[in-house]
Structure 1
Amino acid sequence: MTQAATVPVLDLSTCDKEPIRTPGSIQPHGFLLTLAPDLAVLQASGNVGDWTGVAARDAVGQPLAAVIGAAAAQRIAPELAADLGPRPYYAGTITTANGHHFDVLAHEWDGVIIAEFEAVDRAEAADFRHLYPLIGDFLLKVNDATGIEALASLACQHIRSVTGFGRVLVYQFDADGHGHVTAEARDERYHSYMGQHFPASDIPAQARELYKLSRIRLIQDATYVPAPLVPALNPVTGRPNDLSFAALRSVSPVHLQYMRNMNTLASMSVSLMVKGKLWGLISCHNEGPIPIAFEKRTACEQLGQILALCIESREDAADLQFRLEVRRTMVSMLAGLTQGSDFVENLVNVFPDLLRFARASGAAIMVDGRVLTYGDTPEEDDIRALVDWLTLHDHGDVFHTDKLSAQYPPAERLTRNASGLLAMPISRIHKHYLLWFRPEWVHTIEWAGNPHAKAAATGAPTQLSPRTSFDAWRETIHGTSQPWHQGEIEMALEFRTALLGIALERAEQMAELAEELGRANKELEAFSYSVSHDLRAPLRHIVGFADLLLESAGSEDAQQRQRFLKNIKEAARLAGKLVDDLLSFSQMGRASLRPTTVDMNDLVASCLDKLALETRGRNIEWNIGTLPEAWADPTFLHLALFNLLANAVKFTGQRDPAVIRVSAEDHPHETVFHVADNGAGFNMEYVHKLFGVFQRLHRMEDFQGTGIGLANVRRIVERHNGRVWADSVQGEGATFSFALPKPDSSH
């Protein structure tokens, strides 16, 4: 029978679901036995008779000595009785009764002892002296290597010299799982893959997971016929054997075909694990079959581990250096931002530093309706539309992408100077944004074969097979920018916090000036008693527990002191929240409205995303009706709606399930929206207090809050010339409603 006739028809549609850990067979350059603790044979590979003269079915149930000979069994019995782990352990070299020599590897896994017998030409034990010159020479040259690529190239050369493979290469996985060849050592007769990319689909996810567990894998001859286990099921588990750590484990027929298509009949892979993740592989190829003894594989595995540690060290050093440079630029910017009294003018003055900070080609600031730009940026109208989209979808403190058009379709026409975007809001209330733009990075990737082509073997019937071409295939990538470095994103978050701090300091200075000039806020006077009452309680807690903490300074009761400190921290947090909410309320009256058409369905979805952390673990039934559009300022309306939904979440805390409904009514001159829940409700006798500042209808011990949220809702709705009201049956739930006038009836 020809080799072609033995190759099965392969179904690539299921190759990512193959049972690669439980193939039920082994590679035949050795044999495998599973053993009970007393070393009785539980299973044998179907080829055991070819090596020992004892057929697999005859071997099962026999003592180990009956299969390999008494002398051989006596030689390795003490090693097999040791405390074996999941990784193959060299138990020694034996000669069976019929004169064949084998290296014996053993490990305990899946409820049995797995003993593997790899055929060797020598009768003496494995010589691990290969390990020391390989590792020693590599370590001596590590400091001379200037970068990761040089280190990888050095490792390729060393492994090739020890194993004799025709080609050894190192490739690194990118964020999408594609492999990029960064180093290579090869015989001049072999095709070079240096610099080329291999698509992620070449290594299915389950194979990557196995690479993380078992760090080395050898295929000695890709034309082998697998030797099945007899019996097929593990007698201990009743399931197919898990051969994840077995050196002789048979591999996927799809992968064997892939190797043959690549003109590779022997291969070895060594996993490179960096910080617990599969960074890449050392991949070895040979055009003909080639045996690699266990001691040489061990040397290669050790070198791979050292290379991974070196990669981690170099990457950490490069990352630290990059972050230091970014931080230096940020410090310079912050120094410039504190020079003058005009915050926006200060931002404009540091525009060049802003570009350097994010390695951007353009930057823009949107403050108080003004758009200020520097460098190569989109047009002002495009920036305004982009900020509207960012505001509506609430991307959190920082939004970043290296392909803006994939998330924001209108950016298709902005790819020249805005393929990448890093953006952050610099106000909690106003539509103030800082944006960085990166231009399109048109680049070419050279693949080892067309990754998009689905190859089919010729002949009838048509047989699906792995891709057959590994010729260089170039693909030009459009519409993306250089990716944002994680350090840039983290520094941007720090920068945002610093900006908010500067803005708060300016606000405090303005407040002090206002107080000195005697411009008292009448609305604040109206509820000054409530403010002082609410702040007095946490401040008294802080003073009281601080006194107790001082009195207990000599005490050894650490638990009591921890409780005092916890109470002080909680009281300070509440006081700070009251001040923050008061600031938010006072700012609400000064900010100008910029009404536009708002998709209420998107707005509700955005609020629910923002509430995800608070609702985690809760059983909440959300009943969201189809909502009409509204004419309003989207930023303010988002805040009002979020307050109402957050209130509903808070006051249904004792309900399982909690039921929260959002609905609407369309009237000729106004649109009415309702947020209803099945929570605690309130007494309608006090409904007139509900929307007042610092007013509560429930005890703070029962429901946490500052009493400002509903006051903000009322102020926002009334500034839109709308109205707000509420209805409730105490203990059964509440419905909060607000009406917004339509554009033609709002003036």
Structure 2
Amino acid sequence: MDNKDKIIIKQRVNSNIDYNEQIHIPNFIQDHGLLLVLQEPDFDIIQVGSNTEKWLNIPPENLLEQNIECLLDSEQIDNIRQNLAGNFVYINPLKLSIKCGNEVRLFNGIIHRNNGVVILELEPCENESATDFSQFYQLTFPIINKIQKSANLYELCEIVVKEIRKITGFDRVMIYKFHADDSGEVIAEDKQEDQEAFLGLYYPAYDVPQVARAVFSVKFVRTIPNINSQIVELVPQFNPLTNEPLDLTFSVLRGVSRCHVKYLDNMGVMGSMSVSLVKEGKLWGLIACHHESTKYIPYHKRVVCEFLGQIMSIHIPMREQNDNLDNKVALKSVQAEVIKIISESEDLLNVIKNIGNKLLTIVGATGSVIFLEGEYHKVGKTPNDAEITELLNWVKNQMKTDIYSTDSLPIIYPPAQEFKDISGGLLVLEIAKLQEVYVLWFRPEVSQTVNWAGNPEYPIEIESDGKMTLCPRTSFEQWQEIVKFHSLPWQPYEIEGAQDFKTAIVGIVMRRISELAKINLELEQSNSELDSFTYIASHDLKEPLRGIHNYSTFLMEDYGEILNQDGREKLETLVRLTQRMEDLINALLYFSRLGRQELHKSPINLNELIENVSEVVKVSKPDISFEIRKMDNLPVIYGDKILLEQVFSNLINNAVKYNKKDDKIVEIGYEETEEAASIIYVKDNGIGIREKHQETIFKIFKRLHGQNKFGGGTGVGLTIVKKIIERHGGKIWLESKYGEGTTFYIKLWKQE
């Protein structure tokens, strides 16, 4: 392919890029051994490496469709069957002898099943003696003893690299730890004195692509004795049973990616071995071994290295816990103190005041915000309220569990670049989702210098067909990068402290919720009793009041002629007062019934309802000139028709009543919402309501004018209107300009 068909892109890439190279199915093997694919149950040979003539003096085509009996005797075949059955005595490697022409050659047989076939790999060995368990024990026991005595992760790594280099004889042995962003760091190294040190250098994520990580996670040892060895293709190319490439994930001879060969060559490495380090089921790192010349490691030594890698993997979590032990102990002490304060408190706000800066110490933060009951309660350095609101709305959508953390907030949430000196890192706890209780902790940006083993901005070749090809780096010279928009990472023990804090806080929140539920129940019972009392009191008051009204009327009729003017006026006043008192009692009685009255809901044509109400209002006010303007096609709403007629009757009557203008106008219209609801408005050009009275207008018996102005009134009408709307699950509010008019808005649902 010509260079014009390639595009070189310089960019920072991660390990997730698809490089279109499936390293577990390369269709070839390395040439330091041979591979046979057997079909069960008879062990017929269906696929082989093309180098059988080199090792067995038999061309590959002469082995195909033959039975394994052409190479092995019945005892050796039985050993293979025992191995596949899981018999401990016959585990890999099996010592196999094969007659090759005039000589007998010895091999280590490594056997495994994969995708319905048996893969038998043969590596030549020098003698027939096998490494027994006592030799294995003598070799590994002193090392395990050292590992167990290691105090922290640093000592553990130092022991392992030294011992594995001693066992294998590699020029360099390193421990390479993966970080959260998939980049790697050399955290331990043992090497020849004249070699350049790699300790402390970072390697970009793409140095170990995800396809390679997937294999390392299940196949723990990988050896490449010679990167310049001849490629050994498989014959036939594909597995005859599936007509697909042979899966060599667990093969010891699996061919080496052409990219990896170039990569090692550019490093000056000819032989290599890697051992996987797995922590809690996830690839944590690698023991990487390099040699400047050809380096073959016998199978029994590879087993020892794999065993030590697994022993180290077991110890990694414990040794990581021992790192920064003093800091952890101090932190745990503060966390215990905070938990004690919380457990003895009944009020979350008091807790915040009492623990003060300890809220920051428990996770090593410099600022914190507790969002509770719609308010922000801050400690230390935090963004402003508007920035917190936007951040909290964003982070709610990011949270997959009840905790969220990042040490690169300005990168994944660009608005945070404006306050990176406060929040380069963020840790969030969701205490209660429905009640919206959150705790946010902040850490400032910490610019740091990272020493890379070569420029992390990596050239990638894109072929003319769009395929991406991995280009191995040509330089491993130290390259420095200033990393911005990052905070110090949140450590596992800090996140654990935050979770303990949540557990304690949830106790307070749940107690508070329980108390509120109890109070709500008591209020509900109290309101019910109050409604009953109001009804009974109102009903019982009407009888003596009616008697006073009647006797006063009788006195005026029977003794009006003998009473002087002053006496008659007093009786007339008494009659008016009793009538007003009865109106107030009737209104109160009606209001008390609203709380218990069953609603008879149905779809209501608002056009018809407004027309009916308008007609009644006009008939009731024959001496007043006014105009009612109704928007066409008012929506259909859902509710109790009789009660809603009363709502609009009250609002239209008030609009006419409280209006001094000659041209009195009442407008009725609506606005659609995104919800299944409509907002209906009743607008007038009347006297308006002063702003200071707009919050109290719906309170019972609240009148803004003297009882004789604007035709009097009980001061209960708008209270009843509000009660009816709320019983429908709706909402009522107003906008008004004093002297210009008032608009009442009612939100009502279109359906149940």
Give the TM-score range, shorter chain. Answer: 0.5 to 0.7
Question: What is the identity, as a one-letter code, of the residue corresponding to 2:33?
Answer: G
- Do the aligned partners of residues 415 and 242 (structure 1) sit closer, same or farther apart at CA in structure 2, a change above 3 Å counting? same
**Could you tell me whether the CA contact under 8 Å between 1:361 and 1:375 is conserved in 2?**
yes
Match in the other structure for 2:685:
none
Question: After superposition, where does 1:369-518 map in structure 2 within 5 Å?
Answer: 371-379=376-384, 382-383=387-388, 386=391, 397-424=402-429, 434-454=439-459, 465-489=471-495, 491-503=497-509, 505=511
Question: What is the identity, as a one-letter code, of the residue corresponding to 1:77?
Answer: I
**Could you tell me whether the CA contact under 8 Å between 1:32 and 1:117 is conserved in 2?**
yes
Where relative contact order (Cα < 8 A, 6+ residues apart) is larger, the structure is 2
- Do the aligned partners of residues 48 and 337 (structure 1) sit closer, same or farther apart at CA in structure 2, a change above 3 Å counting? closer
Question: What is the identity, as a one-letter code, of the residue corresponding to 1:294?
Answer: Y
Match in the other structure for 1:53:
57
Match in the other structure for 2:691:
none
Match in the other structure for 2:635:
none
Gaps of at least 5 residues in structure 1 are 1-8, 458-462, 529-666, 677-710, 728-734, 737-747
Cα distance between partner residues in 2 of 1:521 and 1:392: 41
Question: What is the identity, as a one-letter code, of the residue corresponding to 1:674?
Answer: E
Q: Aligned with 1:161: secondary structure?
A: helix
1:216 paired to 2:221 = yes
Q: Deviation at 1:416?
A: 0.7
**Could you tell me whether the CA contact under 8 Å between 1:319 and 1:487 is conserved in 2?**
no
Q: Aligned with 2:420: secondary structure?
A: helix
- Do the aligned partners of residues 719 and 82 (structure 1) sit closer, same or farther apart at CA in structure 2, a change above 3 Å counting? farther
Match in the other structure for 2:748:
725
Cα distance between partner residues in 2 of 1:230 and 1:527: 95
Match in the other structure for 2:280:
275
Range with greater deviation from structure 2 (300-309 or 86-95): 86-95
Range with greater deviation from structure 2 (483-492 or 169-178): 483-492
Cα distance between partner residues in 2 of 1:30 and 1:21: 18
**Could you tell me whether the CA contact under 8 Å between 1:178 and 1:197 is conserved in 2?**
yes
Question: After superposition, where does 1:174-323 map in structure 2 within 5 Å?
Answer: 174-315=179-320
**Could you tell me whether the CA contact under 8 Å between 2:171 and 2:191 is conserved in 1?**
yes
Q: Deviation at 1:168?
A: 0.9
Cα distance between partner residues in 1 of 2:672 and 2:33: 79
The C-alpha deviation readout for 1:330-389, integer Å capped at 9, x for no partner, is: 442344357788753442231121111121112334566765543333345544554566
- Do the aligned partners of residues 130 and 473 (structure 1) sit closer, same or farther apart at CA in structure 2, a change above 3 Å counting? farther
Cα distance between partner residues in 1 of 2:434 and 2:176: 48
TM-score, normalisation: structure 1: 0.63
**Could you tell me whether the CA contact under 8 Å between 1:399 and 1:423 is conserved in 2?**
yes
**Could you tell me whether the CA contact under 8 Å between 1:85 and 1:108 is conserved in 2?**
no
Cα distance between partner residues in 1 of 2:253 and 2:432: 62
**Could you tell me whether the CA contact under 8 Å between 1:424 and 1:435 is conserved in 2?**
yes
The C-alpha deviation readout for 1:475-504, integer Å capped at 9, x for no partner, is: 222112223344544543553453354356
Q: Aligned with 1:416: secondary structure?
A: coil
The C-alpha deviation readout for 1:499-541, integer Å capped at 9, x for no partner, is: 354356467779999999x99863796699xxxxxxxxxxxxx
Match of 1:44 among 45, 48, 51: 48
Q: Deviation at 1:260?
A: 0.9
1:97 paired to 2:100 = yes
Gaps of at least 5 residues in structure 2 are 1-5, 463-468, 534-667, 678-724, 735-743
**Could you tell me whether the CA contact under 8 Å between 2:33 and 2:122 is conserved in 1?**
yes
**Could you tell me whether the CA contact under 8 Å between 1:218 and 1:269 is conserved in 2?**
yes
Q: Deviation at 1:714?
A: 6.6
**Could you tell me whether the CA contact under 8 Å between 1:179 and 1:198 is conserved in 2?**
yes
Question: How much identity, in percent, do the aligned residues show?
Answer: 31
**Could you tell me whether the CA contact under 8 Å between 2:175 and 2:287 is conserved in 1?**
yes
Cα distance between partner residues in 1 of 2:123 and 2:108: 5
**Could you tell me whether the CA contact under 8 Å between 2:152 and 2:323 is conserved in 1?**
no
The C-alpha deviation readout for 1:187-243, integer Å capped at 9, x for no partner, is: 123332111122221122122111122111111100112111222232333332222
Cα distance between partner residues in 1 of 2:8 and 2:128: 43
**Could you tell me whether the CA contact under 8 Å between 1:131 and 1:296 is conserved in 2?**
no
**Could you tell me whether the CA contact under 8 Å between 1:130 and 1:295 is conserved in 2?**
no
**Could you tell me whether the CA contact under 8 Å between 1:106 and 1:114 is conserved in 2?**
yes
Aligned-residue CA RMSD in angstroms?
A: 4.2
Match of 1:25 among 7, 24, 28: 28
Q: Aligned with 1:417: secondary structure?
A: coil
Cα distance between partner residues in 1 of 2:502 and 2:157: 39
TM-score, normalisation: structure 2: 0.63
Match in the other structure for 2:674:
673
Question: What is the identity, as a one-letter code, of the residue corresponding to 1:44?
Answer: V
Q: Deviation at 1:264?
A: 0.8
- Do the aligned partners of residues 185 and 524 (structure 1) sit closer, same or farther apart at CA in structure 2, a change above 3 Å counting? farther
Q: Deviation at 1:49?
A: 0.8
The C-alpha deviation readout for 1:103-130, integer Å capped at 9, x for no partner, is: 2222333333322221233354456765
Equivalent pairs, count: 540
Bigger Rg, which one: 2
Q: Aligned with 2:100: secondary structure?
A: coil
The C-alpha deviation readout for 1:697-726, integer Å capped at 9, x for no partner, is: xxxxxxxxxxxxxx9997684479854434
Cα distance between partner residues in 2 of 1:126 and 1:512: 75
Cα distance between partner residues in 2 of 1:234 and 1:514: 72
Range with greater deviation from structure 2 (215-224 or 465-474): 465-474
Cα distance between partner residues in 2 of 1:241 and 1:395: 38
